[in-house]
Each structure stands twice: as structure tokens, then as C-alpha cells.
Structure 1
Amino acid sequence: MSGFENRDSDDVVFASAECVSLADFMASGLFQRTYAEGMQLVEETSAYLDGPGREAARGLPREASLAYAGESMRLTTRLMQVASWLLVRKAVHEGEMTVEEANSEKYRLATKEIARQPRFEGAEALPERLQELIARSERLYARVERLDTRLRMTGPVAPAPHPLTESFRRVEAFFREHLAMDFSDQRREFGRRKNRPE
């Protein structure tokens, strides 16, 4: 049973564990959904900011124009962080990178201060499409941040003992004991034969 429960497309509830393994994460299908959503959002945002968004920004009043610049910067920063995190986890799953490398400071989710800042003044006047992209990026970033925390909490798991280990140990001890006794008997017999007059 996976440690994830996907209750809706915008959020993830971790159902049964504080930490999860990358294998569980991948097997749950959550990575594929998050990866697809993240890359799609990157494409949508890029297309909007390079096209309709640029046009919309020209007609904004000064305060909203400043909010547009600040919020669009935060939006792209957030999505760059998410895309980088997803690509690193994919590389680990495909054997191109170790878990230790992926968990290094180099690949840690950064810019959390930027991602969590309150909206800029005048943000409520921003184009509706931009506000939608911002809200989706915030939810996606929060999801990835939770996933990152749980994956980093996963330490090396000690293998569970085989159910027959104790039985094997007893059988081995039995044979060792009897082989030792047989060997002692053979040595005594050999000694008697050696000392027997011919």
C-alpha cells in the first residue's frame, strides 16, 4: 500500500507515513502526474508571459504594473525550482544520479522565501489568466515541497529478517554440535588404534 492518497488534482494528502521512499513515490503514479502537471504549467506560463501577458502588462496602471513584474518573476522562479526538482528525481529513478547526490544541498529546493512571500500590492488587479497561473504554481510548489521533505526523511531501511532465519540458526547449531562430537569420537578412536599394540 502506498503512502500517498491523491484526493484531488490540486493537493496531495500523505495517508500513512511521514516519510516515503523514492520507489514508493514512483510506484504510486504521483510522480508521473506531478511531472506532467509541472511541465505543462511551465509551457503554459512561458507561452502566456511571452505572448498575451506581455500585451496585457502594457495596459496596466503603475501599481498593477509593478505587481505584474514582481509576481511574474516569482512565478517563473517557483516553476524553475519545481522543474529542476522533478528532473533530478527522474534522474535518480532512471539510475543517472544517486539518492545521495539528489539530496545534496546543490539540489535542495531553494528560494522558499520568494515562493512564500505575500502577493504584491495591486496583485488583485492583475489579469485573470496570470492570477490563475500564480495560484496553480503555488499549489504545485507546496506539493513538491512536502514530497521533498518526506523523501529526504527516508533513511536506509534495514532488511527484515527472513521468517526461517531462527530455524536455520538452530539447525546449523545442531549440526555443528554433532559434527564436533563425531569428530571428537573419531579422534579418540584414532588414538586408541594408534596406541594399540600390533
Structure 2
Amino acid sequence: MSEQGLNTVSFAGRAASSSQFKALYTEGMALVEETAAYLDGPGRTASKVLPRMASVLYAAESMRLTTRLMQMASWLLLQRAVNNGEMSRDQVLSEKSKVRLEGFNVDRNAPGWHDLPEGFRDLIERSLRLQNRVALLDREIYRPSEAVVVPDNENSVRAQLNLLRTAFTN
């Protein structure tokens, strides 16, 4: 088949500027604000009465949580900037190299874990789920190009539906 007989579809690029991205962005920024309010309010109060091991773990996990959320917020802001035409893809790639989206593991069996306030553990779990979603989208958008080839004679709508089915089916 000749080059002229092919169309390439960039599904990830479109997903990054979609309403799903906007929802992810809103969720991420809301989680940052919710976590800040918790750590400055109820979390601060709760941390003062924790047993020693849980208190040390709370301090470490609150730093990890804050770092994880700031890294995700940075990525979300960069992606929004490229979506809005405020930065070029090359500029984002340069800045994105400073953002770390993986490797923030949590040891749920650590001494004191179950003594941590439930609201705090919930924020950690939600941040980890969000981190996984952001990291997945990052890999889909910025991995080396693997264009999906659609022959000219294939129905474009059917091809798009097949792409969506493939993307959202386990």
C-alpha cells in the first residue's frame, strides 16, 4: 500500500485535549487543594495524638503525598499549557523531563500504617490512583510515535470506533 493510501490516527494526542483530560485536571487540582486543607487542619490535629511509630510515618507519608501531588500538578499544568497553545510540544518535553510520575510507593504494612487517620490514608490512596492515571496518559502521549494505520478504503467511523473499543477494553 502506498503512503498516500494511509491515514494515521493520534488517539492519545486527542485524548489529552479532551473533556476526559479536563476532568482529570479538575480532579487533580481539587485533590491538591483538599490535601492542603487536610494537612493544615484536621491532619495537623490528628497527627499530634498519634503513637510514636505512626507519628514518624505520618511525617514521612505527608511529605511523599505532597511531593506526589506537586509532581502530578506540574504535569497537568504543562499538558494544559500545550493544549491551550501556550507552550510548544518541545518546550513541554524539556520541562516534563523534570517531572517524576512514578516510584512513589507506599508500604501499607509499615509499622504504624493502620494507626494513621483514615482520612489521611484515603488521600494517599486517591493520590496513588490519580498518579497511575496520569502516568498512563503520559506514556501514551509521549512515547515514541506508534501511529495506527487505517487503510483508505476502511470506513473512518468504524476505524475510530474500533480504536476507542481497543483503548477502553481490558
Do Structure 1 and Structure 2 share a fold, with TM-score over 0.5?
A: yes
Question: TM-score, with normalisation over the residues of structure 1?
Answer: 0.64
For 1:68, the equivalent position in structure 2 comes to 58
Change in CA separation of 1:75 and 1:149 when aligned onto 2, cut-off 3 Å: same
Which amino acid in structure 1 is aligned with residue 111 of structure 2?
A: E
What's the Cα RMSD here? 2.5
The residue that corresponds to 2:7 in the other structure is: none
Q: Secondary structure at the match of 2:39?
A: helix
Q: Does 1:26 align with 2:22?
A: no
Could you tell me which runs of 5 or more consecutive residues in structure 1 were left unpaired when the two chains were aligned: 1-18, 164-198
Q: CA distance change for structure 1 residues 161 and 99 in 2, over 3 Å: closer, same or farther?
A: farther
Q: 1-side partners of 2:12 and 2:81: how far apart?
A: 15
Q: Which has the higher contact order (CA 8 A, sep 6+)?
A: 2
**Distance apart, 1:24 and its partner CA:** 3.2
SS at match of 2:100: coil
Deviations along 1:133-165, whole A, 9 cap, x unmatched? 0100000001101110110125396998989xx
**Structure ID, larger Rg:** 1
Contact in 2 for aligned 1:64/1:126 (Cα 8 Å): yes
Choose the corresponding residue for 1:92, options 65, 68, 82. 82
CA–CA distance in 2 between the matches of 1:96 and 1:159? 30
Identity of aligned residues (%): 45
What TM-score do you get using the length of structure 2 for normalisation?
0.74
* Alpha-carbon distance between aligned partners in 2 of 1:111 and 1:66, rounded to the nearest angstrom: 24
State the 1:79 CA deviation: 0.4
The equivalent residue for 1:132 is: 122
CA distance in 2, matches of 1:153, 1:111: 14
Q: Which residue of 2 aligns with 1:46?
A: 36
What is the deviation of 1:83? 0.5
Indicate conservation of the 8 Å contact 1:75/1:134, yes or no: yes
